[in-house]
Chains A and B, each alone.
Chain A
Amino acid sequence: MNTNWLDVMLRRLLGFAGVMLVLSLMIFVLARVVPGDPARIALGPSATQEQVDAMRLEMGLDDPVLIQFVNYVGGALRGDFGRSLISGKPVASEILELLPATLELVLVTVFLMIVISVPLGVVTARYRNSWIDNTGRFFSIIGVTMPSFLFAILLQLAAANFFPGWPILGRIDYTLTAPQGPTGLLLIDSLAHGRFDVFASALQHLLFPALALAMAGIGQVTRITRSAMIEHQRRDHVLTLKSFGVPDRVIIFRYLLKLSSIAPLTIMGLEFASLIGNAFVVELVFSWGGFASYGLEAILQKDLNAVMAVVLVSGFFFIVANLIIDVVLLMIDPRLRFKEAR
């Protein structure tokens, strides 16, 4: 029956490729209909009309729109998103330089999300309607409803008032120099170079931003895990095991947990989109200087090429994240493998 793996995965990949294509088309069209001449923005108000015309020619803005789109997609596939209208440097290299900072933040965030919310969801479901449940639910609803920027600021205020000296800005202490390569992720690079001082500092710097970023997801995933657990507790298969005296802890931690991880995993995939969005806020508050900060800057300065690239790269990461989750779901839930086979 496992031959369907290939079929199922191929379907997903094709679907995602389609999504990327339509997404780039939408962004491209949006970018072309907005008022303002990209060439003019690039050269500034003092440039002459001849200079602007020359620039338009160079940027291919006078070609038919379809040709422009094909060229754009072709370039994007090769990793070429054009040049920044502001700095004049290739957008791709600028993004590549800043991406590891954001990637590190996001990975730690996702790690925190899973480590905190899954046990919390299980425990609140297990002790339903007790004080444990009420406290857990209280915190998860705060997670869902509190704006990320407020939580980020509260963390900074808390650090300022109660933990003086705890870093609240940047990725690493300014007295340290980060080791170069191979991944750009400070936690890994520092270990690779044996720089434990850098590792410790990076970890310290990461904690608060990652918490602020994870909070919304923690709240959401806890709630979903809890309600999935409760929902499945009512099912006949739980009654089957109970009727034969299989202990509650086995029913919960083996049977229910695996079944109940399907819903939160699905949600986590969708949450990833808002996580990328919230990264903009959190990076701003903690002066993180990553991909999201770059995106915010590009948007505020109307750097069209950079904005398009930022949206596309964000979409790409959303899709990759969901693809990974799909694979995990396929491993967890045999029904997905059989269903698409029939």
Chain B
Amino acid sequence: MTDATFNLQSGADQRAIAALRRKNAVWRRILRDPPAATAALLLFVIVAAAVLAPWIAPFDPYSNNMRLRLCPIGGARCPDFLLGADNQGRDMLSRILFGLRATLGMGVTAVVVGGGLGALIGLSAAYFKRLDQPLMRLIDVLLSFPSILFGLAIAAVLGTGLGSLVIALSVAAVPSIARIARGAAQSIMQQEYMEAGRAVGLGDTALIWRYLALNCWPTILIYMTLQLGQAILLGAALSFLGLGAQPPTAELGSMAADGRKFLSIAPHVSTIPCAAIFLVVLAFNVLGDALRDALDPKLRQ
């Protein structure tokens, strides 16, 4: 008994070690690729800054001082404001930190919720063959609807605001992740261990979660990373149009829109949020591409 357990565990250990090695190989590849490594580092810093915003922001992002209005970077009026002040005399650096928090939070929530739902749909379509056709037709329908229209339609029905924006972005994330998840799950379904699992009498739930989902999640996660950049870009665009976060909320897209009116006299008010969005999305895209190349041997050659 002990022996058998021991052997089983050592088998599991070996598999775990192999998996770890694979994972390490992926990370090694990424670290050896300078753009991807830079993107990973940048993202780490950005995410840390966003999470820690309430503690590291030098000033309150909402306290205004009209005497410091539109103070440029390094201006004599606002020596303490590293990135200058906006049109209401608020510290740009603090607003950018809180803005990153809102923008990233919106993107991550949308991709986790929408992507999670999409993954569930994709896995079910691959596992329950009878559901495949109806579910995938539904996904086709969603996919043939441009995501900006989700944003417009949901803002029109539910009103503008961060909440309806997150709903729109989540809906937009569902179809592409569902497709990827289905594709990944279908190849796993053909593996022998799925049949073996069924043969030893595992139920659908166990097969789906412990066998199917566990083996698909790296692929799904990569596509979520790629999707995250797109979600942030779309969310920022909708906010820029005034359909997302409403003032005075510090959100990068609406901050860029705020600064638009002062472009000729104080370009930093809109340029800094725009540059922040660009850097975040660029980092997600570069890292996502690198992860995809590293994990997809077909594209690696």
Tell me if chain B binds chain A.
no
